[in-house]
Amino acid sequence: MGNGVREGPVEFQRDVEPVTARIPAEDNQEKKKVLNSLMAGALAGAVAKTAVAPLDRTKIMFQGSSRADLSLQEAYRLIYHTYLNEGFWSLWRGNSATMVRVIPYAAIQFCAHEEYKQILGNYYGFQGKALTPFPRFIAGSLAGTTAAMVTYPLDMVRARMAVTPKEMYSSIVHVFIRISREEGLKTLYRGFTPTILGVIPYAGLSFFTYETLKKVHAEHSGKAQPSPPERLLFGACAGLIGQSASYPLDVVRRRMQTAGVLGHTYSSILLTMQEIVREEGLIRGLYKGLSMNWVKGPIAVGISFTTFDLTQILLRKLQHGPGLER
């Protein structure tokens, strides 16, 4: 009896030690995974946005204008005149503000997407497997919403810098100071509601389409991973679908963000939409610049998704050796 009492604690200690030893290793692995996602997302956003910055600036100028005769041909003419009048690097005006916003935005969005996929996978019992369509859409929507909520004031600053002459704002900090002093701090969140309403279908459909195309490719080709050109194509399709679905709200967001410097007063989403449709028409108003987006959007999203995936694969190989792919 006495021997039994002495042996019990000894056996208990022997069983517990391996479990406690594994916990720090699992924590470190999770931290590395999150850090990898943040780094890969930041790089993906920076590369993609820099590549399409001249087109992005032109699109914002389109969306902020009340002219009804803007077309893809007019967009390229605008780019050319901007180049002649302000110089080559003026085509990237506002890109510094874009980088300040897009690097944390993309890092948070991609990292959040990986985490939401894992959470939803655990909830629905898909650990280690591809999510079914609805959770796939939800994971993308939540990721986009999370990133937009954290970085919205930077998006506002970027829009202001894109539509104003360089003499008006000398730097990102100057934009914040002037808006706060002249229009009030709440102006930094003007257009926030249409942004969130727009990002739900945009991010949801973008991530959903990209992940679905990768899954279908794996099932039909027998290859575990698509090639870089295939990733670019899948990302381009994702961007085309996502941005087309959410475009009217993107126009409303830009109008509300730039209203203070362009002489308009837009008080709500519905009133902004009504005024745009009344003055410019449904298609020419709410879908202004969409042809530009069909050029810019697929390129940017394709580059973004591809850069993220390949950077993730590279970081994992550096940490764990070859043979570990996403």
Answer yes or no: do 154 and 109 share one domain. Answer: yes
Indicate the burial class of 95 (C-beta count within 10 angstroms; 0-12, 13-18, 19 or more): buried
Answer yes or no: is 152 within a domain. yes
DSSP state at residue 223 = -
Contact 45, 106 (CB under 8 A): yes
Final residue belonging to a domain, choices 143, 169, 187:
187
Answer yes or no: is 307 within a domain. no
Q: What is the pLDDT of residue 58?
A: 75
pLDDT band at 130 (very low <50, low <70, confident <90, very high): confident
Answer yes or no: do 208 and 151 share one domain. Answer: no
Answer yes or no: do 212 and 195 share one domain. Answer: yes
Beta strands in the chain (DSSP E): none
Whole-angstrom distance, CA of residue 38 vs CA of residue 192: 24
Whole-angstrom distance, CA of residue 62 vs CA of residue 241: 20
Q: What is the pTM for the complete model shown?
A: 0.75
pLDDT beyond 70 at 2: no
Residue 261 lies in domain: 190-300
Answer yes or no: do 244 and 206 share one domain. Answer: yes
Give the three-state DSSP class for 108: helix
Whole-angstrom distance, CA of residue 101 vs CA of residue 317: 29
pLDDT beyond 50 at 21: no
Residues in the chain, overall count: 326
Answer yes or no: is 314 within a domain. no
Q: Is the dihedral of CA 171, 52, 313, 141 positive or negative?
A: positive
Answer yes or no: is 41 within a domain. no
Least confident of 23-32, 144-153, 276-285: 23-32
Q: What is the pLDDT of residue 263?
A: 60
pLDDT band at 16 (very low <50, low <70, confident <90, very high): very low
Alpha helices (runs of H) in 164-263, residue ranges in sequence order: 172-182, 192-221, 228-262
Q: Is the dihedral of CA 58, 60, 63, 67 positive or negative?
A: negative
Answer yes or no: do 201 and 287 share one domain. Answer: yes
pLDDT band at 17 (very low <50, low <70, confident <90, very high): very low
- Residue 247: give its domain's CATH number: 1.50.40.10
Q: Is the dihedral of CA 218, 219, 223, 224 positive or negative?
A: positive
Indicate the burial class of 246 (C-beta count within 10 angstroms; 0-12, 13-18, 19 or more): buried
Q: What is the mean pLDDT of residues 215-242?
A: 93
Q: What is the mean pLDDT of residues 274-295?
A: 83
The tokens for 200 are 């739900």
Q: Is the dihedral of CA 188, 88, 287, 96 positive or negative?
A: negative
For the chain, the average pLDDT equals 81
More reliable by pLDDT, 99 or 86: 99
Final residue belonging to a domain, choices 187, 221, 254:
187
DSSP state at residue 94 = T
Answer yes or no: is 109 within a domain. yes
Whole-angstrom distance, CA of residue 277 vs CA of residue 296: 24
Q: pLDDT (tens digit, 9 = 90+) per residue, 156-181?
A: 887 787 777 777 877 788 888 888 88
Answer yes or no: do 147 and 72 share one domain. Answer: yes
Rank 1-15, 71-85, 220-234 by mean pLDDT and report only the highest: 220-234
pLDDT beyond 60 at 14: no
Answer yes or no: do 198 and 121 share one domain. Answer: no
Q: What is the pLDDT of residue 12?
A: 46
Answer yes or no: is 310 within a domain. no
Q: pLDDT (tens digit, 9 = 90+) per residue, 264-282?
A: 666 688 888 888 898 888 8
Answer yes or no: do 171 and 199 share one domain. Answer: no
Whole-angstrom distance, CA of residue 30 vs CA of residue 40: 15
- Listed in sequence order, the residues at least 6 apart from 274 whose beta carbon sits closer than 8 Å to its beta carbon are none
Whole-angstrom distance, CA of residue 232 vs CA of residue 239: 10
Answer yes or no: do 166 and 201 share one domain. Answer: no
Least confident of 7-11, 186-190, 249-253, 304-308: 7-11
**Distance of alpha carbon 211 from its chain centroid, rounded?**
15
Q: What is the mean pLDDT of residues 68-79?
A: 65
Final residue belonging to a domain, choices 187, 212, 247:
187
Answer yes or no: do 220 and 182 share one domain. Answer: no
pLDDT band at 23 (very low <50, low <70, confident <90, very high): low
Answer yes or no: do 227 and 247 share one domain. Answer: yes
Answer yes or no: is 11 within a domain. no
Q: Per the structure, how many domains does the chain have?
A: 2
pLDDT band at 207 (very low <50, low <70, confident <90, very high): very high
Answer yes or no: is 44 within a domain. no
Answer yes or no: do 172 and 73 share one domain. Answer: yes
